Every structure is written in structure tokens, then in C-alpha cells.
Amino acid sequence: MSTTLHTLHVELIGAAQSRRYPIVIGRDLLADTQLFTDLLGDRPVVLVTNDTIAPQYTARVMTALGDQRRVTQVVLPDGEVHKNLTNVEHILTAGLQDKHERRSVFLALGGGVIGDMTGFAAACFLRGVDFIQLPTTLLAQVDSSVGGKTGVNHPMGKNLIGAFHQPLAVLIDLQTLQTLPTREFAAGVAEVIKYGCIADGEFFEWLMGTSSRLKAREDSVLAEAIERSCAIKASVVAADEREAGVRATLNFGHTFGHAIEQVMGYGEWLHGEAVACGMVMATQISVNRGKVAPEDLARLKGFLEEFGLPVAPPASMDTSVFLGAMAGDKKVDKGTIRYILLQSLGQAAIVNDITALEIDQALAQLA
Ligand SMILES: NC(=O)c1ccc[n+]([C@@H]2O[C@H](COP(=O)([O-])OP(=O)(O)OC[C@H]3O[C@@H](n4cnc5c(N)ncnc54)[C@H](O)[C@@H]3O)[C@@H](O)[C@H]2O)c1
């Protein structure tokens, strides 16, 4: 028996049409036949996952999908290095070989890598079919599965090829987090605390008070943390589906973080680890600008450290290295680097006037 703990909706107000999709959070959702029947009816399915997740979770999804439905399974190799056009083509070929049509639905069972690739394949297949996100990492549950950004990496950079394609639904099964490696779980926690920093001071305080229960992956705390994170992401995405304005605040910690990932080599630092460190840098600058209390920065650092997340940038990266890497970021706007700082704890500010001296000072303080 599955249990639904929260359901919320992402509202999209498009030029041509408005639409909404549900994010369902609960236990044992992946095994819930009724839930899949309600969403899919008798529509055929292309189920995409990777070779780490397949042995752990495919069987229960297959059972829930029932034996009357046409299901094509695609199992891709695990890893960010496989997030490329070749594997998108594998998905498309499997769909074509099994004669899937426009009414077929793609299911993405996995972390952000599988979600991004499957969503992009769904956006391209026969000029666009529906897809459902079944995110199995904390990062995917609170971030990548919500918002409709899909895509793959290119040898010239991360996530350079892609499309906005919103899912039909996001089903978050809390059970999957119990098998997630510690480092991957912590990387997701970095994105969770990000939402508190940029949009909800109360949520920040709640997280400070529940860190040990979150670390122990208690169901009720996970459900609450994911629900509040998704609600913030959903409201930002609803206001700005294509990242023209306010959606940029979700990049808090990401401008410095991307620079770290790029310079240290992707895979060396997990994305969430680089974001954690980037958030500390951005908060330090916010403290120096008199917007955030030094004690709040100390609490943020303490929280991140409790999860084993890094709070000091690599010693090998000085200001010029950061500036050089950030200048190449795809979020650079007409040559100006756009940063997200904190206006106060719980409120983000988009700025473009951070000086090299300020970065120098922050690096010295955090060394
Ligand atoms: N589309 C967006 O808006 C968006 C936002 C943020 C990040 N992303 C993308 O997301 C990707 C990162 O996602 P991620 O952190 O989920 O990484 P991931 O998909 O690589 O998953 C991390 C690792 O955990 C394994 N795993 C997944 N679920 C598991 C489970 N329940 N139990 C055991 N192991 C499990 C995976 O096989 C993988 O080895 C990046 O490619 C990033 O660009 C996209």
C-alpha cells in the first residue's frame, strides 16, 4: 500500500495555454498501480533508467505498470559522462523500434542525469511526447525533476544542448532515498538549504533545527523538506518558466559553484558540493555588504559541514581563476557576470557589481 504525504502543483501560464502538473510525494509510489493507471490509462510506455537503478527499482515499476501495457525498457550506463546525444539517440531508437506513437509516455526513473536525458528525448520524439519524472536522488526530487529544463552535455560544455519540456507529473517515492549513497544525499541537501536561503527564512530555521533527523533520513522530515523545496521551485518556475528573471535566483551558489566544478574537473566535486561552497562564498560577500549577520553564515557553514559538505573553496583557486571560469558560464549576460547574493537571510538579490576585491576578501576570510 502506498501513502501519499503531499501533493502540490506547478502552475504554468504560457502564451498559448495554461497548464498545471502534480508533484506527488509519498511512500511506495513506484509500486502504486492505481497512481500509474490514473496518470496513464492504457498508454504505452518507454521506461528509461540506468544500470545502477535498474536492479533496485525497475521490477516494482514494471509491476505497477501492469502486464497489459506495452512497455519498452531502456537501461543506460550510469554516470554524468553518459549524459550525451548518443544516449538520447539510444532512447529514441528504442522507441522507434518498438513502434511507439505520440500517445506513448516516457518515464524517467533515476537521478538528474536520467531525468534530463529522458525529458530531452521526450521533447524530440515524434516532435514531442509526454513524460513523467520518477526521481530517485534528493537532488532530482527537489531540483532537476521540477521546472522543465531537459538536456545533455556537449564536449564544449555542460547542459549546452536541451529544451524546455515540462513533465506530465513528478512522482517522488521517499523510499528511494534509503539506498542513496551518503555523498549523493548530502549533495541534495545543499539544494534544499539553498531554498531556505533564497526564499524562506522560516524554512532555513526549521532545517537548522532538524538537521540530525534529516541526516538520519526520517521519512516525515524528508517529506516536509522536499515539499517545501518543491513549493519554492514551483512558484519560481511558474513566475518565470524560461529563466528571464526571478528564476535566476535559483542559481544562488551556482555561479561560484560552476567555476569550481569546471576548474577542478567535473566528477571531482559533485555539483551539490560545489554549490554548497558557492553558497558560502556568496553569503560571505553578503555578510561583508552588511546584508546578513556573521552568525547566520556560521550557522550555514555548520549545517553544511554536518553533512560533510565543503565550506572552503579549493586553495588552488584565486580570484583570477574564479573570474576566468565564470566569464565562460552560459549565464553570463552581455559580458556581465550575474551573481545571486542574499538581501537578507531568506531573500535573494540579483547583482552584477561584485568586484574582484570583494572576491579576494571573501576567499581570504574562508581560507
Ligand atoms: N534540469 C534541471 O533543472 C537540473 C537541475 C539541477 C541539476 N541537473 C542535472 O542533474 C544531474 C545531477 O543529478 P543527480 O545529482 O541526481 O546525479 P545522478 O543522476 O548522476 O545520480 C547520482 C548517482 O546516484 C545513483 N542513484 C540514483 N538514485 C539512486 C538511488 N535511489 N539509490 C542508489 N543510487 C542511486 C545514480 O545511478 C548515480 O550514480 C546533472 O547532470 C545536472 O546537470 C538538472
- Centroid of chain to Cα 283: 21
Instruction: Write the DSSP symbol of residue 107.
Output: E
114 with 254, same domain? no
Does residue 234 lie within any of the structural domains? no
Q: How many other C-beta atoms can be found within 10 angstroms of the C-beta atom of residue 332?
A: 14
28 with 124, same domain? yes
Per-residue confidence (pLDDT) for residue 265, from 0 to 100: 80
* Top mutation candidate among 51, 114, 139, 258 for ligand 1, by most atoms within 8 Å of CB: 139
Per-residue confidence (pLDDT) for residue 256, from 0 to 100: 96
Prediction pTM value: 0.95
Per-residue confidence (pLDDT) for residue 16, from 0 to 100: 52
Domain total in the chain: 2
Residues near 215 by beta carbon (within 8 Å), at least 6 away in sequence: 306, 307
The CATH number given to whatever domain includes residue 249 is 1.20.1090.10
Domain boundary pick from 152, 179, 206 = 179
125 with 271, same domain? no
Does residue 230 lie within any of the structural domains? no
Does residue 146 lie within any of the structural domains? yes
296 with 348, same domain? yes
327 with 202, same domain? yes
First to last CA, the chain: 51
108 with 191, same domain? no
Domain containing 28: what range? 3-179
91 with 124, same domain? yes
Per-residue confidence (pLDDT) for residue 345, from 0 to 100: 94
Per-residue confidence (pLDDT) for residue 331, from 0 to 100: 65
Q: How far apart are CA 216 and CA 185, in angstroms?
A: 11
* Centroid of ligand 1 to alpha carbon of 178 (angstroms): 15
- Ligand 1 site, CB within 6 A: 50, 52-53, 78, 80, 83, 110-114, 116, 136-137, 139-140, 143-144, 147, 149, 159, 176, 179-180, 184, 187, 271
143 with 205, same domain? no
Does residue 235 lie within any of the structural domains? no
Longest dimension (CA), the chain: 65
169 with 201, same domain? no
Mean pLDDT, 10 residues at a time, over the chain (367 residues)? 90 71 96 97 98 98 96 97 97 98 98 98 98 98 95 90 96 98 98 97 98 97 97 87 78 94 84 97 98 97 98 96 85 79 95 95 96
28 with 74, same domain? yes
Per-residue confidence (pLDDT) for residue 295, from 0 to 100: 97
Per-residue confidence (pLDDT) for residue 15, from 0 to 100: 52
Query: What are the residues facing 73 on neighbouring strands?
Result: 47
98 with 212, same domain? no
